[in-house]
Amino acid sequence: MADIDVLQQLEQTQQKGLNSLAGIASEEALLAWRTQYLGKNTAITQAFQSLGKLPAELRPQVGQTANKVKVALEAVLAEKTAALKETSLAHALATETLDITLPGRPLVQGRLHPDTQMLRELYRVFGEMGFQVYRSREVETDEFNFQLLNFPIGHPARDMQDTYFVEAGERGTNPIVMRTHTSPGQIHAMREFSATNPQNPPSVRLILPGMCYRYEQTDARHETQFDQIEGLAVGPGITFSNLKATLSDLARRLFGQQVRTRFRASFFPFTEPSAEFDVECFLCGGKGCPVCGGGWLEIGGCGMVHPNVLRNGGYDPERYTGFAFGLGPQRIAMLRYGINDIRYFWENDMRFLEQF
Ligand code: PHE
């Protein structure tokens, strides 16, 4: 009797399972159905578990029936699962639309740093004037940064350029320094060019751009890291007039024909005579402000290359003369764009950088 019950229960389970599946329309309901009919606690599992206790002749029939019911229910479950998936996809396709009129995310556009822009403009202007760019190193020896430029060891003029010394072991009187100016490049350049023809070195007209480092008290016009553009022209018969004309012309090309400039006598160990080159301050209109001080902004030093320096570069000062200058491109950019503090350049503040 009990055995007949098992078979009946199995048949009923199959019937009920098939019937109730027809009404299922969601994946959650299908999951519940699956637990109910194919889970751990169903007529099918019970039938399998009871097999051992049944009389031997009934076992095949009960086992086969349980198996048949299980296979049948699994088959309809698979069909239903596929059908539900298809319906939900069709629904999504019909109802969800892709709004292609929505504006895209803006791409942030990069740009060149104002200092780089200024340098490139200066390369262009100097290029028109016949100067070629010569690259020189940022880490120097004391010998090149000072000694070969006529600053002997212990010379008071070294105080003009507060220096970062690099720890590099015991190097006696020739420590390693972060270059304090681009002028040591003059020696590298002259040596390279004079080596090509030591008896008759070629004339040169060069600019040497790059970073310089000083242990400075920073303020609106001083930073511990700044660019310079060194200029160097060496040849037979070069005069101070050529220097004045070159820098005055540069100022006119950069700021227009009306710009006022001035040369002030000064001192550098590696030029003789020496001068400082000022441009009227556009930030205050020449009245005087925190950037310029007195209405004029010094944008560089200059002078005639000292005979010792020419000699150190392999040029005979009896036959060659030359002029040199060292400009501050960031000072020029400040005048150009109305930037009232040099410290903005390397602060990386987007509000500043995005204006260029
Ligand atoms: N090297 C000098 C400085 O940094 C500037 C300079 C360059 C002066 C060339 C004269 C000639 O202060």
pLDDT in tens, the chain (356 residues): 456 688 888 888 889 988 988 888 888 889 999 998 888 888 888 888 888 888 888 888 888 888 998 898 899 999 989 989 999 899 988 899 888 888 889 898 889 999 999 999 999 999 999 999 999 999 999 999 999 999 999 999 998 889 999 999 999 999 999 999 999 999 999 999 999 999 999 999 999 999 999 998 899 888 999 999 999 999 999 999 999 999 999 999 999 999 999 999 999 999 999 999 999 988 888 898 888 888 998 899 999 999 999 999 999 999 999 999 999 999 999 988 989 999 999 999 999 999 99
Probe target for ligand 1 pocket from 140, 208, 228, with the most ligand atoms within 8 Å of CB? 228
Probe target for ligand 1 pocket from 213, 270, 277, with the most ligand atoms within 8 Å of CB? 270
Q: Is the dihedral of CA 268, 269, 270, 272 positive or negative?
A: positive
11 token code pair: 């048949």
pTM of the model as a whole: 0.71
Non-local CB neighbours of 121 within 8 Å, separated by 6+ positions: 254
Pocket flag, ligand 1, residue 271 (CB < 6 Å): yes
Query: Given the CA of residue 231, which atom of ligand 1 is nearest to it?
Result: 9
Determine the longest span between alpha carbons in the chain, in angstroms: 132
Non-local CB neighbours of 325 within 8 Å, separated by 6+ positions: 230, 231, 243, 246, 247, 277, 300, 301, 302, 303
